[in-house]
Amino acid sequence: MNFWDKLGTLDRRWIYLLVALSVIFPLIVPMSFKISITPEARQLFEAVDALPDSSVVMLTFDYYPSTVAETEPMATAALHHLFRKDCKVVTMTTIPLGGPSMAERVTRTVARKYNKVYGTDFVNLGYKANWVAVLKGMGTSIEAIYPADNSGTRLSELPLMATVKNYDDVSFIFVVADNDIVQNWVSIVNAQYGTPIGAGVTAVGAPKYYAFVGSGQLTGLLGGMKGAAEYELLADARGLAEKGMGMQSLAHLVIILMVIVGNIAFFAGRWSKKGKVK
Amino acid sequence: MSSVEIIQIWVAAFFTLAIFSFLYKDNPFYKLAEHIFAGLSAGYYVGLIWKAVIIQQLWDPMLAGSWWLVIPGILGVLMFARLWPRISWVSRIALAFVMGNTAGIFLITQLHGIVLPQMQSTMLALGGTAGFASALLAIIVVVGVISTLIYFYFSKEHTGVLGVTARVGIWFIMVSFGAHFGYTVMARISLLIGRVYFLADQWLPSFSQLF
Amino acid sequence: MLKHLKIRFLLTFLLTFVADYQLAAAQTSDDIFRVDRINALITFVLFSIAILLYIKWAKEGKPLFIRKIAGLDAVEEAVGRATEMGKPVLFIPGIQEIDDIETIAGISILGRVAKITAQYDTPLVVPVRYPMVLAAGQEVVEQAYIEMGKRDSYNRDIVRYVAGEQFAFTATVNGMMMRDRPAANIYMGAFFAESLLLAETGNAAGSIQIAGTARPEQLPFFIAACDYTLMGEELYAASAYLSHEPLMLGGLKGQDLMKVLIVVLIIVGIILMTLGFGDAFRNLFEAV
Amino acid sequence: MRTIVPVIVAFLAGFVMIVSFFFNPERTFFGRIESEVLVWVTIVGGFTLLLGVVSITRVNWHAVRTKKEGWVYNLFTLLSIFVMAIPAMLPVSWSQLFGDTEGSIYDWLFFHVDYPMMATMFAMLAFYIASAAYRAFRARNPEATLLLVTATLVMLWRIPMGEAFLIRVGDTLLFGYNLPESINTYIMNGANLAVQRGILIGAALGAASMSLRIMLGIERTYMGKG
Touching partners of A (3+ C-beta pairs < 8 Å): B, C, D
Whats the size of chain C, residue-wise? 288
Mean pLDDT score, B38-56:
94
Helix H or strand E encompassing A198 = strand A197-201
List of residues 6+ apart from D57 with CB closer than 8 A: B42, D78, D81
- A83-97, D20-34, D111-125: which range is least confident on average? D20-34
* A237 in Cβ contact with A80 (< 8 Å): yes
Nearest to B91 by CA among B103, B72, B75: B75
Mean pLDDT score, D66-71:
89
pLDDT interval class at A278 (50, 70, 90): very low
pLDDT interval class at D1 (50, 70, 90): confident
pLDDT of A272 over the 80 cut: no
pLDDT interval class at B82 (50, 70, 90): confident
Longest dimension (CA), chain D: 77
Q: What single-letter DSSP state applies at residue C165?
A: S
List of residues 6+ apart from B38 with CB closer than 8 A: C165, D56, D77, D80
Q: How many CA atoms lie within 13 Å of A198's alpha carbon, on the beta-carbon side?
A: 28
Q: Which comes out higher in pLDDT, residue A14 or A119? A: A119
| Long-range Cβ pairs for the range A159-163 (8 Å, 24+) | A159/A119, A159/A120, A160/A56, A160/A88, A160/A90, A160/A119, A160/A120, A160/A121, A160/A122, A160/A123, A161/A90, A161/A123, A163/A56, A163/A88
* D135 in Cβ contact with A8 (< 8 Å): yes
- B12-16, C29-33, D20-24, D140-144: which range is least confident on average? C29-33
Residue D218: what pLDDT?
86
pLDDT of C22 over the 50 cut: no
pLDDT interval class at C13 (50, 70, 90): low
Residue C9: what pLDDT?
65
- Cα–Cα distance between C179 and C162 in angstroms, integer? 15
pLDDT of A86 over the 50 cut: yes
Cross-strand pairs, A92: A60
pLDDT of A194 over the 60 cut: yes
Question: A214 and B141: CB-CB below 8 Å?
Answer: yes
Mean pLDDT score, C206-216:
89
Question: B158 and C67: CB-CB below 8 Å?
Answer: yes
Mean pLDDT score, C90-112:
87
Question: C217 and A9: CB-CB below 8 Å?
Answer: no
Question: C216 and A9: CB-CB below 8 Å?
Answer: no
- Cα–Cα distance between C268 and B142 in angstroms, integer? 12
Cross-strand pairs, A118: A122
Domains identified in chain C and CATH numbers: 70-232 (3.40.50)
CB of D218 within 8 Å of a chain C CB? The answer is yes
Is A176 in a helix, a strand, or coil?
strand
The DSSP secondary structure of C101-129, one letter per residue, reads: HHHHHHHHHHHHHHHHHHHHT--EEEEES
Give the gap in angstroms from C-alpha B125 to the nearest C-alpha of chain A: 14
**Quick count: other Cβ atoms within 10 Å of Cβ A82?**
25
pLDDT of D56 over the 80 cut: yes
Q: Which comes out higher in pLDDT, residue B140 or A243? A: B140
Quick one: three-class SS letters along C232-272?
A: CHHHHHHHHHHHCCHHHHHHHHHHHHHHHHHHHHHHHHHHH
**In chain B, where the domains are located:** 1-65, 122-211
**Which residues from chain D sit within 8 angstroms of residue C31, using beta carbons?**
24, 27
Q: Which comes out higher in pLDDT, residue B13 or B3? A: B13
Residue A13: what pLDDT?
80
Mean pLDDT for all residues in chain C: 85
CB-count exposure of residue D44 (10 Å: 0-12, 13-18, 19+): buried
- Cα–Cα distance between A69 and B188 in angstroms, integer? 10
- Give the nearest partner residue to C227 out of D140, D213, D222, using CB atoms: D140
Give the gap in angstroms from C-alpha D12 to the nearest C-alpha of chain A: 15
What is the tens place of the pLDDT at every residue in A175-191? 999 999 999 999 999 99
Nearest to B145 by CA among A70, D109, D198: D198
- A24-33, A91-100, A215-224, D190-199: which range is least confident on average? A24-33
pLDDT of D226 over the 70 cut: no
pLDDT interval class at D224 (50, 70, 90): low
CB of D122 within 8 Å of a chain C CB? The answer is yes
Question: Is the complex ipTM higher than 0.85?
Answer: yes
- B79-88, C183-192, C270-279: which range is least confident on average? B79-88
Positive or negative, the CA dihedral C113, C119, C122, C123 is: positive
What is the tens place of the pLDDT at every residue in D124-169? 888 888 888 887 888 888 989 999 999 999 999 988 888 888 888 8
Nearest to C138 by CA among C238, B32, C146, D218: C146
Of D1, D77, D181, D205, which to mutate for an interface test with B (greatest number of B Cβ within 10 Å)? D77
Name residues 110-129 of chain D within 8 A of B (Cβ): 110, 112-129
Give the gap in angstroms from C-alpha D26 to the nearest C-alpha of chain B: 18
The DSSP secondary structure of A236-277, one letter per residue, reads: T---HHHHHHHHHHHHHHHHHHHHHHHHHHHHHHHHHHHHHH
Helix H or strand E encompassing C201 = helix C195-204
β-pair type (C208-213, C184-188): parallel
Positive or negative, the CA dihedral A244, A245, A247, A252 is: positive
Q: Which comes out higher in pLDDT, residue B126 or A31? A: B126
Residue D225: what pLDDT?
55
Residue C154: what pLDDT?
86
Residue D28: what pLDDT?
65
Residue A264: what pLDDT?
87
- Give the nearest partner residue to C216 out of A9, A12, A208, using CB atoms: A208
- Cα–Cα distance between B183 and D159 in angstroms, integer? 11
**Which residues from chain C sit within 8 angstroms of residue A191, using beta carbons?**
287
pLDDT of C205 over the 90 cut: no
Of C258, C260, C265, which to mutate for an interface test with D (greatest number of D Cβ within 10 Å)? C258
Name residues 158-177 of chain A within 8 A of B (Cβ): none
Of D1, D9, D71, D145, which to mutate for an interface test with B (greatest number of B Cβ within 10 Å)? D9
Mean pLDDT score, C146-163:
85
**Which residues from chain A sit within 8 angstroms of residue C216, using beta carbons?**
208
Q: Which comes out higher in pLDDT, residue D160 or D79? A: D79
Best mean pLDDT range from A23-37, A48-62, C238-252, D50-64: A48-62
- Cα–Cα distance between A67 and A55 in angstroms, integer? 29
Question: B181 and C221: CB-CB below 8 Å?
Answer: yes
pLDDT interval class at A276 (50, 70, 90): low
Measured between CA atoms, the residue of chain B closest to residue A246 is: B193
- Cα–Cα distance between B152 and C128 in angstroms, integer? 29
pLDDT interval class at C3 (50, 70, 90): low
The DSSP secondary structure of A78-99, one letter per residue, reads: HHHHHHHTT-EEEEEE--TTTH
- Give the nearest partner residue to A9 out of C204, C217, C287, using CB atoms: C204
pLDDT interval class at C36 (50, 70, 90): confident
pLDDT of A91 over the 90 cut: yes
Buried b (16+ CB within 10 A) or exposed e, D115-144: bbbbbbbbbbbbbbbbbbbbbbbbbbeebb
List of residues 6+ apart from B201 with CB closer than 8 A: none
pLDDT interval class at A9 (50, 70, 90): low
CB-count exposure of residue C32 (10 Å: 0-12, 13-18, 19+): exposed
CB of C286 within 8 Å of a chain A CB? The answer is no
Nearest to C168 by CA among D64, B24, B40, B30: B30
